[in-house]
Structure 1
Amino acid sequence: MRADVLASTVNMSHEEWLAARKNGLGGSDVAVITGFSKYKSPVELYLEKIGEFEPKEAGEAAYFGTLLEDVVAKEFEKRSEMKVRRRNAILRHPDYPWMLANLDRVIVGKQEGFEAKTASAYLSDEWAEDKVPWSYELQCQHYMAVTGYERWWIACLVGGNKFVYKPIERDEEVIQAVIQAERKFWNEHVVKRIPPMIDGSDASSNLLNTLYPKSIPDTYVELPSDAKRLLEDFEYWQTEEKSAGERKDEAANKLKDMLGEHESGWIGERKVIWKSVASNRFDSTKFKKDHPDLYGQYVKESLSRRFSVK
């Protein structure tokens, strides 16, 4: 099987690249569709694909990840004794036109691909031994589905000082699950202009705060009938959350009582810590009273929306 070339990326601007991505689903979209992304919700991806929401600018982690891509690729060549080259094109599956692939690189002389990553030291456990974060596993399986390749190599610079590289073998069961998930998302949501459901993830909350940053004063709307069930769910889980919080606090307080003045305690292989931590806090109330003019110059209004039920 040979992938089709949707567009060459040679001399393609970032804006043109973003526009081309709206023609289908790429490797990094798979984790979003299947619920394995911490950073983006399915409804946000849907809005991007139909052109109603512009993708957010990449943060510093993504910026440096792109900057260090060449470094990771060269180190992979050195350690693996394989050569890689860029594939300057957006590829498309010949049978599923909504499956796109913008590859980092391919292995020279082999039907194999290469993906470069960077990760924080806090995520080192996700790269231990033969492990690869599931979102990246899905991304590489997506690329193998599009290209027909049997293996994908992934290399990662972890914490800026630890380098790992591993092969990911083609898995037909995973690929079929990826194809089914993408087909449903594209045909049932993007094509039909029916958004996926909002969920309780941080990604959905962040999207709503971005879409609706301000409320219009003194306005109201009659909510649909579904709102009654959602309100009942909200109040039920609010009560459960309060009860769970009280039980958690009770357990913590009993453990603190057992520790007394000791900083830590052991129970089997688990360590319990109740440590004194010094912190300096700015007394804004006193500063406002003593220096009202200066306070006015440096105070900055922060706007957010508070949700409540009355």
Structure 2
Amino acid sequence: MSTEQKEFDEDSKERMYWGIEFENLVAQRYAKDKDVKVQRINTMMQHKDVPIALANIDRAIVKPGSRVRWCDKTHQLIGADKLLEIKTAHALSINSDDWGEENTDEVPINYWYQCMWYMGITGVHTCDLAVLFGGQRFKVYTIEYDDEIFNALLKRAKEWWYKHILTGIAPDPHDEAEAKLKWAKSSPGKETIVGTDVAELVNQLKEVNSKLAILEDEKQSIRDRLVPMLEDAEIITYQGEKIATYKSNKDSTVTNWKEAYLSLHPTPIHIEQFQSIKHGARVLRIN
């Protein structure tokens, strides 16, 4: 296993650990604030008519005097008053346009669709979304079921399953990152003749690049005037209010592994064992 893979696995384990820990804490806080009982459902739930439509919910809010269970015969979640989905978010995101006032359904669209999907599969038509912002601010949002939206999601899921999963044909890329994954290497000498729409995008990008270059020059000009005035101060105040800081980052130890290795005088054969091909990145240059 490579060092990168080990680090990735460790990061994944760490994220999974804290995800579970925070999920439990948020669920407890929700139950306390709402004075309800919440129950974990360790069952993969399946839509009664569309087998590929699955749901694995975080928690269910128990109806008084009931116990929540999944019925394989009716394909319904029995004994649940609501569904409860739990999320953690960055502290600063609480002020973003994605999140509205508490108790509304104004949440990021992917979370909204997730709740809608789970409600459609379980037959429980209200879902509370409990969110912990930055580990210190707790809010609850409520999403109500919409049959038209769920059926549209179900239709899209079936189309995706038959068109891409069963055939193994990847969908067309929707952004630069996806396009780079599909076409990581250029075909030598290949030319593509484009239409007006693509040519217009190239011109727009050229204009934006020109504006950015001007702004970068302006930015550096301002820094060239500002930084010498700060001398060795860490904190910059104006009329009693801190407006900026200019602090040194903490010192760290850096190991020059290449020099350390070469100092051992390795043979060319030994060096070859540690060599690999680094593929050149595709670079978009505008003429």
TM range (shorter): 0.5 to 0.7
**1:292–1:194: structure 2 CA closer, same or farther, 3 Å change rule?**
closer
What's 2:136 paired with? 161
For structure 1, which runs of at least 5 residues remain unmatched after alignment? 1-55, 264-272
Take 1:112 and 1:80, find their aligned partners in 2: how far apart are those partners? 12
What's 2:279 paired with? 305
What's 2:20 paired with? 66
TM-score by length of 1: 0.57
Match of 1:113 among 58, 83, 87: 83
What's 2:231 paired with? none
What's 1:3 paired with? none
Q: Name which one, 1 or 2, has greater alpha-carbon Rg.
A: 2
Equivalence map 1:139-158=2 (5 Å): 139-158=114-133
**1:301–1:248: structure 2 CA closer, same or farther, 3 Å change rule?**
farther
Contact kept, 8 Å, 1:256 with 1:274, in 2: the verdict is no
Take 1:139 and 1:160, find their aligned partners in 2: how far apart are those partners? 22
What's 2:233 paired with? none
Q: CA offsets per residue over residues 61-95 of structure 1, 9 Å max, x none?
A: 45411232111111110011121111121111111
Q: CA offsets per residue over residues 106-159 of structure 1, 9 Å max, x none?
A: 110143211111122243234452432211111000001101221001112211
Report the 3-state secondary structure (helix = DSSP H, G, I; strand = E; otherwise coil) of the residue aligned with 2:142.
strand
Q: How big is the shift at 1:180?
A: 2.2
Report the 3-state secondary structure (helix = DSSP H, G, I; strand = E; otherwise coil) of the residue aligned with 1:114.
strand
Equivalence map 1:224-263=2 (5 Å): 228=192, 241-254=205-218, 261=225
Q: How big is the shift at 1:302?
A: 9.0
Report the 3-state secondary structure (helix = DSSP H, G, I; strand = E; otherwise coil) of the residue aligned with 1:261.
helix
**1:308–1:258: structure 2 CA closer, same or farther, 3 Å change rule?**
closer
What's 2:68 paired with? none
Q: CA offsets per residue over residues 22-78 of structure 1, 9 Å max, x none?
A: xxxxxxxxxxxxxxxxxxxxxxxxxxxxxxxxxx86364454112321111111100
Match of 2:57 among 103, 126, 130: 103
Equivalence map 1:146-295=2 (5 Å): 146-202=121-177, 205=180, 228=192, 241-254=205-218, 261=225, 293=263
Match for 1:100: what amino acid? L
Q: How big is the shift at 1:277?
A: 7.5
**1:257–1:124: structure 2 CA closer, same or farther, 3 Å change rule?**
same
Cα RMSD after superposing both structures: 4.5
Match for 2:211: what amino acid? R
**1:160–1:274: structure 2 CA closer, same or farther, 3 Å change rule?**
closer
Match for 2:59: what amino acid? R
Match of 2:101 among 120, 129, 142: 129
What's 1:270 paired with? none
- Asked which structure has the greater RCO (Cα within 8 Å, sep 6+), the reply is 1
Take 2:219 and 2:187, find their aligned partners in 1: how far apart are those partners? 48
**1:129–1:302: structure 2 CA closer, same or farther, 3 Å change rule?**
farther
**1:187–1:119: structure 2 CA closer, same or farther, 3 Å change rule?**
same
**1:281–1:292: structure 2 CA closer, same or farther, 3 Å change rule?**
farther
Q: How many residues align?
A: 230
Q: How big is the shift at 1:101?
A: 0.4
TM-score by length of 2: 0.61
Take 1:144 and 1:60, find their aligned partners in 2: how far apart are those partners? 30
**1:201–1:150: structure 2 CA closer, same or farther, 3 Å change rule?**
farther
